[in-house]
Amino acid sequence: MNYSEFWSEGTGKSVLLLAHGAGAPADSSYMNRLSSALAVKGVTVVRFEFPYMKLRRENGGRRPPARVPKLMDTFQEEIARLRSLIGWERPLFIGGKSLGGRVASLLAAESGLGGAVSGVVCFGYPFHPPRKADRWRTEHFARLTLPVCILQGSRDPFGTQDELMQLGNLGPPIKLHWLFGGDHDFKPLVRHRTSQSILIDRAAEIAASFINTIASGG
């Protein structure tokens, strides 16, 4: 596989440009399962990697993510590149796992997308660093005008259900859906009698419904 190109899966009219999280690549087991589940639900998923992750592949070792403005620039470049391939008739959504979703939401809060994007989907939003609930990453939510769907494990250390209930309303454009028992990767405890695969499939079902409803004008 040529990692300089997109990963693409599905044949649906609506397209989701999906970015990876901070520590795992675009073809991690999580991203593979999620992309396949979304494709089954009628969404074409297109994945890309930020440059720091590409360097990990080339040189080995671990590299930290670039600063957020640089990640935003890369994401916007990928939006433009994908638009040039699919044209302007197909609905395009952006999103990602953890860091990828955060960067997508930050882009959506800016005014430079020029109507290129219809909505945002975040899988495991990093509301704050683990054990640092005083450092919320939600300041830009007030500037969001595009619809946003967040799929969050109820045990996610980056923002648990209890913490989010205390935070209050996230804003009208945001729809927050909880996956009971899931952590940041949607992995549940054994006692919850479910599995990561089931929760990923459930997240994909909700996300696909969100995307298809908006794409159809609902």
- pLDDT tens digits, one per residue of 10-61: 989 999 999 999 999 999 999 999 999 999 999 999 999 999 999 998 888 7
Mean pLDDT of the region 132-152: 95
Question: What is the per-residue pLDDT for 178?
Answer: 97
Question: What is the per-residue pLDDT for 6?
Answer: 65
Residue 49 belongs to some domain of the structure: yes
Residue 89 belongs to some domain of the structure: yes
Buried b (16+ CB within 10 A) or exposed e, 60-82: eeeeebeeeeebbebbbebbeeb
Residue 40 belongs to some domain of the structure: yes
Residue 2 belongs to some domain of the structure: no
Residue 124 belongs to some domain of the structure: yes
Residue 160 belongs to some domain of the structure: yes
**Best-predicted range by mean pLDDT (11-20, 60-69, 167-176):** 11-20
Domain that holds residue 82: 7-215
Mean pLDDT of the region 140-146: 94
Residue 182 or residue 193, greater confidence: 182
Residue 91 belongs to some domain of the structure: yes
Exposure of 132 by Cβ count < 10 A (0-12 exposed, 13-18 middle, 19+ buried)? Answer: exposed
Mean pLDDT of the region 64-82: 95
Residue 1 belongs to some domain of the structure: no
How many structural domains is the chain composed of?
A: 1
Exposure of 53 by Cβ count < 10 A (0-12 exposed, 13-18 middle, 19+ buried)? Answer: buried
Q: Within 10 Å of residue 56's Cβ, how many Cβ atoms?
A: 15
Whole-model pTM: value is 0.94
Question: What is the per-residue pLDDT for 1?
Answer: 32
Element (DSSP H or E) covering residue 177: strand 174-179
Mean pLDDT of the chain: 93
The domain that holds 176 is classified in CATH as: 3.40.50.1820
Longest dimension (CA), the chain: 48
